[in-house]
Amino acid sequence: MSMINSVSPTTNLSQTNSLSLVNSSIHSWVQANARVLDLGCGDGTLLAELQQDLNIRGYGLEIDAEAINQCVLKGVNVVEQDLNKGLANFDDNSFDTVIMTQALQAMRYPHLVLDEMLRIGSECIITFPNFGHWKARAYLTLRGRMPVTKELTYQWYDTPNIHFFTYRDFEVLCRQRNINVLRKQFVGEHFLDRQLKNLWPNLFAETVVYHLSK
Amino acid sequence: MALNIRENSVGIVAAEKILIDTPLTLACGVVLASHELMVETYGTLNADKSNALLICHALSGSHHAAGFYAGDDKPGWWDSYIGPGKPMDTNRFFVVSLNNIGSCFGSTGPTSINPQTGEPWGAQFPSLRARDWVESQRLLMEHLGIQRWAAVIGGSLGGMQAMRWALEHPDKLANSIVIASSMKLSAQNIAFNEIARRAIKSDPEFCDGQYLEKDTAPRRGLALARMIGHVTYLSDELMGQKFGRELRSGTFSQGDAEPVEFQIESYLNYQGDKFSGDFDANAYILITKMLDYFDLSRDYENNPVQAFGHAKCDFLVVSFSSDWRFSPQRSREITDALIAAGKNVSYAEIESDQGHDAFLLPNRRYEQVLGNYLSKIADKLEDVTI
């Protein structure tokens, strides 16, 4: 079994503004009573909230034993499944929304996972850390070392995040694969970020939230 | 008496023989005018009778799932998981465990007297299906005055009953817990069962199944059947670890003519002999056939999603990594069908080197998953009750 998903969470969205901003986007983009699949659902917090607020029928996929325990304790449907081994067990269009928060960069083949998400769900919501953010750039430029931040705490050799990409990289991927971007939301906590994230997202968005369809 | 009663055990238990005098029409058409069930219960039924768990045993199980009989220091077969503070917490749940019909621990089965002939049923005992066990359990439920199980729980063949309950009586259970099970046996599974049955029938003392009348017992055949089964319940890895190539007796030294016996040979022979003294050969044949016949979705156009569409309860599905008799893939198929049917389901694949037997044995993660799932159920019940 790969070690990729054995470490959870893959990034730490700080518990304050970023997380609530990301979650509020997700909340506003998910329809009431929807069938939702959350890939890498962690301890099930997001699904529990969506269940509570929007009466969704949700399922989370996860491989971390403790995270699975927490989901079960919360009464969230959780299925032990390694995303890197594929999602062939799910039928086309079998979910309204497929969500993946802060995990795409930990996938063995992110582009294939994205294709699968769009095959299974009518819509997808994806959040990821933007490696083009000025802090990451400054870290690499000034220190000459791979960035270690409070959101991305791992060293290069032990990180589960094996495919770092920027906001712009993702835009290009969506264009190449004809993925329809319905909405996006830029999230950043720093004062500068909040002022400038919509103007220069690739530089000032720490986290990006995408709402996609085929 | 210095009995070794562990701290979190249900302690000394006693079985009760319950007469079910409502006629039971079996799937094969035969009607049992009445039948007897050996039953044990642990914990206390709450005022609104909503905290009952039904334990469904597998091929060779009995009603003695937890605790100790007076004077006996061997606990029930699922004692690791039933008791105060254990996953099936007897401080919170009322646990019902029975010996199913067709088995041989005191409930009506091949060793009972056929009222029509006055002789033991033997091989004439009617053929059974998992749904017959479920129907008999439903009559027991009525007898106990329980309207709805908080959960029906079982491993292996027990999991098949838990699933069948969900389809046959959707309003009579809130949760179905399906452990190391399958929606139907594979050809390989059936093959192993047939080898076991052939072993029994080849024993000259089998006498076409009427050995009780003849006062014989096909113990050698039954022991062989069990040895075959036992190998399939363990993993290669575990057998390697536990026994390796260690010798019980003899050596390979030059000039030493003493016969060599491997530890695994001795272990298997012991298991076979012990089992053949405890179990009935006709019951073994009957219940292995019941396993072979089980096909969850046969009556639902062979479509598991359609089958589970009838269920109203929530599901927990558990499998074990080294179980090759009921492999994790079988449990994933159950889970996928449940998701496609829009049912609430959680699935955990527990790392274990214990093979199929893992569902009976202590395992921290298995305890946590089962314990968390059940404690969530108990929380809900107690919330409503208060």
pLDDT in tens, A66-87: 999 999 999 999 999 999 999 9
Q: Tell me how long chain A is.
A: 214
pLDDT at A1: 33
Q: One of B103, B323, B327, B331 is an active-site residue; which one?
A: B323
- Which of A72, A75, A91 shows the shortest C-beta gap to B369? A72
Rg (CA), chain B: 21
- For the segment A129-133, the average pLDDT, to the nearest whole number, is 94
- Count CA atoms within 13 Å of residue A182 on its CB side: 18
> What ranges do the domains of chain B cover?
16-184+295-385, 192-287
- Which of A73, A79, A80 shows the shortest C-beta gap to B376? A73
pLDDT classification of A11: cutoffs 50, 70, 90: low
Q: ipTM score here?
A: 0.92
Other beta carbons within 10 angstroms of residue B273's beta carbon come to: 15
Active site annotation includes B63? no
Rg (CA), chain A: 16
A55 CB-near residues (< 8 Å, 6+ apart): A32, A33
The C-alpha atoms of residue B276 and residue A106 are separated, in whole angstroms, by 54
What the block records as the tokens of B43 is: 């914990």
The C-alpha atoms of residue B309 and residue B307 are separated, in whole angstroms, by 5
Note the CATH number of domain A4-213: 3.40.50.150
Peptide bond into A9 cis (omega under 30): yes
Active site annotation includes B356? yes
- Count CA atoms within 13 Å of residue A51 on its CB side: 17
pLDDT classification of A13: cutoffs 50, 70, 90: low
All residues of chain B having their beta carbon less than 8 Å from the beta carbon of residue A69 are 368-369, 372
- Which of A68, A74, A90 shows the shortest C-beta gap to B369? A68
All residues of chain A having their beta carbon less than 8 Å from the beta carbon of residue B330 are none
pLDDT at A8: 43
All residues of chain A having their beta carbon less than 8 Å from the beta carbon of residue B345 are 59, 77, 79
Rounded to the nearest angstrom, the minimum Cα separation between A75 and chain B is: 7
Report CB contact under 8 Å: B346, A79. yes
Q: Does the domain made of B192-287 have the CATH classification 1.10.1740.110?
A: yes
> What ranges do the domains of chain A cover?
4-213
Active site annotation includes B156? yes
Whether the CB of B368 is below 8 Å from some CB of chain A: the reply is: yes
Those residues of chain B that have pLDDT short of 70 are: 1-6, 385-386
What the block records as the tokens of B338 is: 């449940």
Q: Among the CATH numbers 3.30.930.10, 3.40.50.1820, 2.60.40.420, 3.40.50.150, which is that of B16-184+295-385?
A: 3.40.50.1820
Q: Percent of chain A, pLDDT > 70? A: 92
B316 CB-near residues (< 8 Å, 6+ apart): A72, B175, B176, B177, B178, B345, B346, B347, B348, B369, B370, B373
Rounded to the nearest angstrom, the minimum Cα separation between B12 and chain A is: 31
SS3 at position A37: strand
The C-alpha atoms of residue A151 and residue A140 are separated, in whole angstroms, by 16
